[in-house]
Structure formats: C-alpha cells, structure tokens
Amino acid sequence: MYDRIILMGRLVADPELRQTQTGLSVCRSRIAVDRFAKQGEERKADFISCVAWRQTADFISRWFAKGQLIHIEGRLQNADYTDKNGVKHYAMEVQVDAAAFCGDRQSQQTAPPSGRPAQDAAPARPAAQTAAQDIALGDLGDFEDILSDGELPF
C-alpha cells in the first residue's frame, strides 16, 4: 500500500504557525486546488487542509502568504473528532512532508511576506528545484568558431 499525495495550489489564507507545549512548530493552512473543467464549464476548486510540522512548518510560515502558489507533498490522514455535543465529525487533511515554491523566479518573492520578520538565512530549496532554476545556457557562438575552421577539436 502507498499513501502519497502531491498537490499544487494557492494558499487561501496566511499560514498559521503555532508551538506545541513541548516547543514543536506546527503550521496549518488550506490550499485551493483547481479541478479539471471541460471547455466552457465554470472552474471549480477543492479546498484542502494541510498540516506541517517542525522545519517544514517554519519554512511554510516564513516564506508563503495568502494567494501564493505552493507545491506540497505528503500523506492523507483522518482528522476525526467529537465535538462537545457528542457529534462525531470526519475530515481528511494532508500531513505535509515537503513544500516548495512554484512558478518562475520572477513571480516568487525575494523577501519574506509583509508583516513577517526577515531572517538572515535563506530557506533551503530542494536539489531538483535548485538545478532546474539555476541552469543557464552559455554563449553558443563559441561552438561555431570551433567547427567553422574545418578541423575537429579532438
């Protein structure tokens, strides 16, 4: 059996960071994920509750704000509870294992969202994201010079 979920959506509100009694960071948020719609149909979205812990919680609360696009990976978990009237409520939420920025660099903020204190260290980005965003093609004109003299370079 395999329980893995990967979602990309927009934050519905600013992430809410709290500390447990033992000092663990926990961040709750909701993201809106678009549903597939046929041409001409009205777009709809699902609103999914997400919970992140420890460093992932700190990362999300520091670098993301309402309306930003976010990529999350995690697992589904029941969040059932009984209210004070004895009524049982059933819910599902994503336990977030990893979060990442989406879109191009120009659409991402280089500073923390407004109202949040800036910190010295930048967040760690996943290696795949770093490699994909940092690749730049050099000047291909150098290759033309090598091949234009008629001799092979080896």
Kindly report, residue by residue over 88-114, the tens digit of the pLDDT.
Answer: 998 899 999 999 998 755 555 544 554
Q: Which CATH superfamily is domain 5-123 in?
A: Nucleic acid-binding proteins (2.40.50.140)
The domain ranges of the chain are 5-123
**Three-class SS of residue 113?**
coil
- The answer, yes or no, to whether residue 60 has pLDDT greater than 70, is yes
- Cα–chain-centroid distance for residue 15? 12
**pLDDT band per the 50, 70, 90 thresholds, residue 42:** confident
Give the E-state strand segments of the chain in sequence order.
5-11, 16-19, 25-34, 45-53, 69-78, 81-82, 88-89, 92-101
pTM assigned to the model: 0.64
Measured between alpha carbons, how far is 122 from 112 in angstroms, rounded to an integer?
10
Q: Is the dihedral of CA 124, 127, 128, 130 positive or negative?
A: positive
**pLDDT band per the 50, 70, 90 thresholds, residue 80:** confident
Q: Angle 141-144-147 (CA atoms, 0-180°, nearest 5)?
A: 155
**pLDDT band per the 50, 70, 90 thresholds, residue 81:** confident
- The answer, yes or no, to whether residue 130 has pLDDT greater than 70, is no
Measured between alpha carbons, how far is 82 from 88 in angstroms, rounded to an integer?
4
C-alpha radius of gyration, the chain, whole number? 22
Measured between alpha carbons, how far is 103 from 30 in angstroms, rounded to an integer?
19
Location of structure tokens 């597939």: 36
**CA 50 → CA 7, 76, 83, 95, 130, distances in Å?**
10, 9, 21, 6, 24
Q: Report the length, in residues, of the chain.
A: 154
**74 beta partners:** 5, 96
